[in-house]
Amino acid sequence: MSRKRKKKSKKGLRLVYFVVIFFCIIVGIRSFTLFKESRELNKKQEILTAKMESEEQRKKDLEELEKYMKTKKFMEETAKSKLGLVYPNEILIEPENK
């Protein structure tokens, strides 16, 4: 009977070793894939952060442009350049086209 128990215990021990090694391999593979995904997500986050900063700067520029467009100076420049309007006492001199 002792030989049967030793054979059974050796088989059981081998089975436990196999299961432990199998789980170690599975955990290793999963860890590698998660590490790879983490690196990719970090790259995407850096790109999106840079994009967000540039969009914030663009927003500030647009807000400044909006403030400028509400000024009297902008309205005068637009009226003169696009519509050709002048003040009543102002003389417009245009260069001759050659």
Q: What pLDDT is recorded for position 53? A: 97
Mean pLDDT score across all residues of the chain: 89
What is the domain partition of the chain in residue ranges? Answer: 7-82
Q: Which two tokens stand for residue 49?
A: 């952060």
Q: What's the Cα-to-Cα distance from 77 to each of 22, 73, 91, 92, rounded to whole Å?
A: 77, 6, 15, 13
pLDDT single digits (tens) 36-81: 999 999 999 999 999 999 999 999 999 999 999 999 999 988 988 8
- Distance between CA 23 and CA 3 in Å, rounded? 30
pLDDT band at 84 (very low <50, low <70, confident <90, very high): confident
- pLDDT digits 0-9 by tens, 20-33: 999 999 999 999 99
pLDDT at 1 over 50: no
pTM: 0.55
